[in-house]
């Protein structure tokens, strides 16, 4: 049986050294080291991955049917507008809606009429860096991300919207353009579960730059990551202006508190760097907790400055709860005209 020692993500701290998120050694089966799937190639996926796909499909559809249908519609419908027709200008019409080309041809003023866009585009941007293979609670962070994405994808197709996918590490590893349909959504879920990336590090800026270059039409973009990165501020501001960008922060409880386990050798899952630390030192654990809290505060400050909504997901809690809370609160906020 293939095994790995799950060791965690590096966090910058004082004393001129990196403090690392502690994970007790666990012997774990590697379920993600399988080839990338295509719609015609599903037979090559391991049975456990196909079983997981079916489980997520069933649970997600049940959640969508019972919980998210109304919330999804009220949260996102109406954000997009599309051109419908032109008609003659009438007193009281907004002069900013005048179609000057038609007006010049007809010799009298005409205005453009827009209506609510019936079809939206949902784009899932999933961080597949090595830190996703960390989890001390009910699931790994990568599994929590897959559940979130599956629920969002099924919510979208239920409302006849398109769904697209970016999987990224320090580069964009996979891009599936937006399409409709159940088969397309199942392919996206298979890729999220079974895709084997070549990179290990996180590059949010590169992923957002790719989104900004390739996706011209305004969409609903869910950026799913633990945000263990920096230097993406400018790219995020551009994305947030072009799209409705929502950050989904996936974390694990052990990333916040370093347990007392004596001398431990820790390895950064993304860089491979190792360090020997004395986790029995109260001073060390306090400085570690302070460094993690400071890093988290910096991340949230960036997201707020970019006017990006945040959904916080933890591996020790059901993923559906923060999604439901987000849909409900955002729907109320939009209803108030904010």
Select the more confidently predicted residue: 179 or 66. 179
Question: Which residues, 6+ apart, have CB-to-CB distance to 221 below 8 Å?
Answer: 122, 123, 125, 211, 239, 243, 244, 245, 246
Cβ-proximal residues to 213 (8 Å cutoff; 6+ apart), any chain: none
Domain locations in the chain?
3-77+118-335, 83-116
Instruction: Identify which has the larger pLDDT, 337 or 189.
Output: 189
So what's the pLDDT on residue 304?
95
Please give the average per-residue pLDDT across 34-56, as a whole number: 56
In the prediction, which pLDDT does 15 show?
29
Containing 28, the helix (H) or strand (E) segment is strand 27-29
The rounded mean pLDDT for the chain is 78
Per-residue model confidence (pLDDT) at position 118: 59
Which numeric CATH code is attached to 3-77+118-335? Answer: 3.40.50.410
Q: Is the pLDDT of residue 55 over 80?
A: no
User: pLDDT of 283-304, one tens digit each?
Assistant: 988 988 898 899 999 999 999 9
Distance CA 266, CA 259 (A): 13
Rounded percentage of the chain residues whose pLDDT exceeds 70: 74
DSSP letters spanning 254-314: GGT-----SEEEEE-TTT--EEEEETT-HHHHHHHHHHHHHHHHHHHHHHHHTT-EEEEEE
pLDDT at position 300: 94
Is pLDDT larger for residue 27 or for residue 154?
154
Q: How confident is the model at residue 23 (pLDDT cuts 50, 70, 90)?
A: very low
Cα-only R_g, the chain: 23
Neighbour count for residue 59 (Cβ, 10 Å)? 16
Q: How much is the pLDDT for 114?
A: 62
- How confident is the model over 198-221, as a mean pLDDT? 93
- 13: pLDDT confidence band, cut at 50, 70 and 90? very low
> Residue 245 gets which letter from DSSP?
E
Q: Which pLDDT score is estimated for 34? A: 31
Predicted pLDDT of residue 81: 57
Instruction: Specify the pLDDT at position 1.
Output: 34
Q: Looking at per-residue confidence, does 271 or 171 come out higher?
A: 171
The pTM for the full model equals 0.74
The pLDDT of residue 33 is 32
């Amino acid at each position: 049986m293939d095994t790995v020692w799950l060791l965690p993500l590096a966090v910058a701290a004082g004393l001129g050294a990196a403090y690392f998120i502690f994970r007790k050694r666990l012997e774990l089966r590697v379920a993600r080291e399988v080839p990338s799937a295509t719609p015609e190639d599903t037979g090559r996926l391991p049975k456990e991955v196909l079983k997981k796909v079916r489980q997520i499909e069933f649970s997600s559809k049940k959640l969508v049917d019972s919980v998210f249908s109304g919330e999804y519609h009220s949260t996102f419908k109406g954000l997009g507008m599309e051109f419908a027709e032109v008609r003659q200008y009438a007193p009281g019409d907004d002069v900013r809606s005048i179609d000057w080309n038609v007006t010049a041809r007809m010799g009298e003023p005409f205005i453009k009429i827009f209506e609510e866009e019936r079809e939206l585009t949902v784009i899932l941007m999933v961080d597949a860096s090595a830190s996703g293979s960390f989890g001390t609670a009910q699931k790994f962070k990568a599994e929590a991300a897959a559940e979130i994405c599956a629920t969002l994808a099924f919510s979208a197709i239920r409302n006849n919207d398109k769904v697209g996918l970016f999987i990224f590490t320090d580069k964009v590893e996979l891009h599936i353009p937006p399409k409709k349909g159940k088969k397309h959504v199942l392919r996206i879920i298979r890729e999220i579960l079974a895709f084997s990336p070549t990179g290990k590090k996180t590059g949010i800026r590169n992923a957002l730059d790719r989104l900004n270059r390739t996706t011209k039409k305004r969409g609903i973009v869910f950026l799913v990551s633990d945000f263990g990165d920096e230097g993406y501020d400018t790219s995020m501001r551009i994305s947030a202006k072009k799209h409705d960008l929502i950050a989904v922060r996936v974390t694990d409880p052990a990333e916040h508190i370093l347990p007392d386990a004596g001398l431990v050798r820790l390895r950064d899952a993304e860089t491979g760097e190792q360090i020997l630390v004395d986790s029995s030192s109260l001073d060390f654990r306090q400085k570690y907790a302070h460094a993690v809290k400071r890093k988290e505060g910096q991340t949230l400050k960036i997201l707020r400055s970019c006017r990006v909504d945040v959904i916080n997901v933890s591996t020790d809690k059901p993923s559906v709860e923060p999604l439901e809370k987000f849909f409900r609160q955002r729907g109320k906020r939009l209803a108030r005209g904010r």
